[in-house]
Structure 1
Amino acid sequence: MNITEAERDAVYKTIFSRRDVRREFKSDPIPQAVLERILLAAHHAPSVGFMQPWDFITIQSPITKSAIKKGFLQAHHESLEQFEGDRQNQYKRLKLEGIEEAPLGICVTCDRSRTGPVVLGRTTKPEMDLFSAVCAVQNLWLAARAENIGVGWVSIIHDNVVRNALKIPENIDIIAYLCVGYVDSFHSTPDLERAGWLPRRDVKSAIHHEYWQEPSFD
């Protein structure tokens, strides 16, 4: 099945306009059919040995979100202490989650024991199952953006908080807690770039030919 030029352009537009959303969430619920499309897209991510190690937990309960938010605030304070001076002040001003504002949370997990102890493609790099679950996150994110739905990844939180709040077994790895919902608008540039935290690297500095070499700035 060939991809048409218009379809190709739509894929690139979705990739380039994807954003980590923290503040623009609306309270509008996500229709069940739309959510099912997004999760189906996530479920079609590539996976090592076709083990499909992911699971998805959807969260709407305000009580559960409050527990997750409390865990974020604790981790956020701990993270703040790792920065100094102007960087710490800048960190304080950043909005880094939308846990209670987003109508939906989605936790993505990884069952590393799925399909047994020996998995095709994991025999040399056992972490490939974790990478596969991250691919599911990316698929989910892009599918959501194609539906004009925002997603924010909350990484500033300890796994035990999410595990306890969502009753996740100890043998299941936590990959991502995502804030999901319709938004007022999508910004043209990422929040951290717009806030001056870091600029986007020139793609040329990330491309090497034939072997690794440090980028030249001549």
Structure 2
Amino acid sequence: MDYYETIRRRRMVRSFRDDPLDEAVVERITTAGLQGPSAGFSQGFSFLVLESAADRERFWATNEHNAQPERVRRGPLVVVPFACKDVYLDRYAEPDKGQTDRDESFWPVPYWYIDTGMAALNVLHAAVVEGLGALFFGLPTEDWPALRDAFDVPDAYDPIGAIVVGHPTDERVESSADTRRRKDVDALVHGGTWGAPFR
């Protein structure tokens, strides 16, 4: 599939069948995320990949403050992307980066979250290429301790959200995309100076 067509087709899917996914498909989708960029090639993101019904049920049990409906929970694959700030602070304290310590004030924005978000977007795009649907949703901080406990995740790793992947159903589920229109290029892209038209 053409890359621009992949971007155009990506949508958040909110209703899945429970058909299992081929192992090779799961591997391609999850490893696509690892191709994301990272500051200093720190690679401070990790994925928790949940395929078995037992693992997914354990995950959903930790999802108390942003519980998803059954039509979402049916999805046969859950990928939880985690960001680790410590990996970035350690990397930029190395000699080739010119820092002398792990001072967090060096970072104008938290690149550990940005890079993990880009890795997650690769997973969403890979699902489209495989002819599947995917949904990214947030995990409230109140649920992080239960998630870490359930899967032995070190405290240094923050889940930026979760991605459900599977075959979409024909069920129509209204979302914000149905009630709000995508903004025009002129509203979001500025050419040369802020507020000037791009083209």
TM-score of the superposition, structure 1-length normalised? 0.71
Equivalent AA in structure 1 for residue 79 of structure 2: I
8 A Cα contact 1:97 1:152, kept in partner? no
Equivalence for 2:166: 181
C-alpha displacement at 1:57, in angstroms?
Answer: 1.0
Equivalent AA in structure 1 for residue 50 of structure 2: I
Identity of paired residues, percent? 25
4+ runs of 1 displaced by more than 4 Å? 95-99
8 A Cα contact 1:60 1:104, kept in partner? yes
How many Å separate the matches in 1 of 2:49 and 2:9? 24
Equivalence for 1:153: 136
TM-score of the superposition, structure 2-length normalised? 0.77
Equivalence for 2:193: 211
C-alpha displacement at 1:165, in angstroms?
Answer: 2.7
User: How many positions carry a matched residue from both structures?
Assistant: 185
Matches within 5 A, 1:29-178: 29-72=20-63, 74-76=64-66, 98-114=71-87, 117-119=90-92, 120=97, 123-125=106-108, 127-155=110-138, 157=140, 158-178=143-163
Root-mean-square deviation (CA, aligned residues, Å) is 3.1
CA separation of 1:76 and 1:112: change in aligned 2, threshold 3 A: closer
Equivalent AA in structure 1 for residue 73 of structure 2: E
8 A Cα contact 2:139 2:161, kept in partner? no
How many Å separate the matches in 2 of 1:108 and 1:100? 17
CA separation of 1:147 and 1:53: change in aligned 2, threshold 3 A: same
